[in-house]
Amino acid sequence: MSEVEMMTPGEVFKAEVLEKYPPKLAKKRGRQIVVNEAAGGEVPEILANSRTAPGILTMRGCSYAGCKGVVLGPTRDVLQITHGPIGCGFYSWLTRRNQTKPHTAEAVNFMPYAMSTDLQEDEIIFGGEKKLKAAIDEAIALFHPKAIGIFSTCPVGLIGDDVHAVAREMEAKYPDVNIFGFSCEGYKGVSQSAGHHVANNKVFTDVVGLDDTPKQGKFRFNILGEYNIGGDAFEIERIVGKCGMTLHSTFSGNSTYEEFISAHTVDLNTVMCHRSINYLAEMMEKKYGIPWFKINFIGADSTAKSLRKIAEFFGDGELTKRTEEAIAEEMEKVEAVRKEIYERCKGKKAMLFVGGSRAHHYQDLLGEIGIETIAAGYEFAHRDDYEGRKVLPSIVVDADSRNIEELTVTADEKRYQPRISEAEKAKREKEGFAFSDYDGMMKQMKDKTLVIDDLNHYETEKLIEMYKPDLVCAGIKEKYVVQKQGVPMKQLHSYDYQGPYAGFEGAINFYKEIDRIVNSNAFRLAKAPWADSPELSASYGYTG
C-alpha cells in the first residue's frame, strides 16, 4: 500500500488543504486542523485563539459583537448605546433572535430599539465624547432607565474617546442610573471571544453584587451562557419550574437588571456556553463562594443529565423525586417522536462549525436521532474548549490576550460564604461529581474525526467535496456557501426563524426540523447552472 492509501480521510484532507497554502500559513493551519485521537482520554493539542491570516474568509466576528451582540444583547432593561457608526449598532441589533418576555405589558423592554451615537466624519476628526454625553442625556429623558451600557466600536478606540470617563461623569449627573462603559473595540483580541471577556469583567465589577436581596424560592441557581435564541430560555425556565427549582437569573437570555445585581445571592452557578462566560463563574466563586459546574440543555438526554446533576447538588429527596417525575413525563413525549425519526436519519453524517460550545452541544442532539458527527470545530474557542480545562496551566498568554484586562479577585470580607464546604466538595469530587470543570469537545468525539479551529470558506468547500456530508451546521456566513453546493444546512447562530431547540420540547422541534432538511428532495432535484453548461477551467501555480 502507498503512503496515501494508508492515510485516514482526515489526514488526506489535511494534506491536500495544506498543500495549497503558502508555507508559513500551512505551518500554522497544520496546528489548527487535527485528526482526533481520544483513546485513553488523551487528545491531541490544537492551536486555538490565534489570529486569522489576513485575506482568509473566516467565520469569526469581532470583539464588539461578542460583548454587545452576545453577552449583553439579550438583556431587556439595560439601555444599550453603541458609540460608533450606525452600521455597528444595526449589525448587533437582534440578529441572533434573542427573545424576551416582560412580565407585564407596561414592563420596560429596550430590545426593540437600536440605539447608537451614529458617529460621522466630524466626530472622527474632533472626537465623539460630546455626542455621547448628549445621547445619554436624551436616553435618560426619554426612557428613565435603571442602567445604561456604552459599547465602544473600532473608530472610538482609534480616536481615543474615553467611554469610561464619560460614564463616570454622567453617572455623577444622574446618580440614580448605573452607567458603565465597555472597551470592546472590534479590533481587540482575535475574535468575538475577547468581547465576551470584556463583558464578563464589567458585569462583574459594575453590576453583580449591588443588591443583596435574594429571589424568593428554594433551590436557587443561575444559568450562565444561555442567550434565549429562538426561545431556548423559555423552555429551560419551564422545565426548571416543573422540577421545583428556582432559576434566579439567566445570563443573559430573557434577563433583567434586577436579576443581575442580586445574582450573587444564589447557591449555585451552572454554565452552558463555557467559552463566553466561564470568567464570570470563576470570579463569582472567588468573591462570593458560589460553586459552578458545566451543564448542557441541548438534547433531551443531556437535559435530563443536567437536571439530575443540579438536583444532586442540592441533595434534597423531594426535589430529586420531582425531577425524576418531570423527566419521565417529558421523555415519554420525546421518545414517541425520536423513535419515528431515528429510522429515517440514522447513519447520516454531519459537520458542525459554530460558536464556542454549540459545535459540541449539538453533537449530542444529532446523535439522539442517529446522525454521526464526522468533523467539528469552533469559531472563537480557546484550547480548553477543545481539550478540556486541564490544559489551562499550559496555555501561553500571548500579546492579543494581554489586551484584555485580567481582574484580580479576592473574597468579599462580608459576603463571601462557601455554599459547600471544602471537605464536602472534595468528597463529592472523589465520587465523580465534577465542579469547575469541562472535558472539552474532543474527548467526546470519535477517533479519526476531524477537528478544525477557525474554519474558512476554502476549507468548507474542500470538506464538502471530500466527505459529501448529509448535513452541515454552521453560521449565517456559511449558510449560502454550503447550500449552493447542494448540501442541507442548519444555521445555528439564529436558528433561521425556528426554535426553540433547548430542553425536551426543543429536542422534538430539532428532530423534526433536521428530518425535514436531510430527507428533502430539494437539494437532489435542484441543479446549479454550471452543472448543465461547460465552464472555463484554469490552474494557479504558486511559486513561492
- Asked if 248 is an active-site residue, the reply is no
How many C-alpha atoms does 222 have within 13 Å on its Cβ side? Answer: 33
Closest CA to 378 of 503, 225, 493, 522: 493
Report d(CA 133, CA 167) in Å as an integer.
9
Judged by DSSP in three states, 7 sits in coil
Report d(CA 145, CA 110) in Å as an integer.
9
Residues in CB range of 22: below 8 A, 6 or more apart: 542, 544
The residue from 60, 196, 197, 338 that is catalytic is 196
- Asked if 402 is an active-site residue, the reply is no
- Asked if 361 is an active-site residue, the reply is no
Q: What is the DSSP annotation of 154-188?
A: HHHHHHT--HHHHHHHHHHHSTTSEEEEE---TTS
Judged by DSSP in three states, 316 sits in coil
How many C-alpha atoms does 333 have within 13 Å on its Cβ side? Answer: 11
Kindly state the cell numbers that stand for 503.
Answer: 430542553
- Asked if 62 is an active-site residue, the reply is yes
Are 483 and 489 in contact by the 8 Å Cβ rule? The answer is: yes
Kindly state the cell numbers that stand for 96.
Answer: 441572533
Residues pairing with 83 in the sheet: 152
The residue from 48, 60, 62, 243 that is catalytic is 62
- Helices 9-19 and 23-32, axial angle in degrees (round to 10): 150
Closest CA to 360 of 339, 387, 333: 387
Report d(CA 121, CA 137) in Å as an integer.
22
Closest CA to 226 of 368, 102, 314, 99: 99
Terminal-to-terminal C-alpha distance of the chain: 32
The residue from 29, 60, 65, 273 that is catalytic is 65
Residues in CB range of 440: below 8 A, 6 or more apart: 43, 360, 384, 385, 386, 387, 388, 389
The residue from 29, 60, 83, 96 that is catalytic is 96
- Distances in Å between the alpha carbon of 196 and those of 71, 73, 293, 405? 6, 11, 19, 12
- Which are the catalytic amino acids? 62, 65, 96, 196
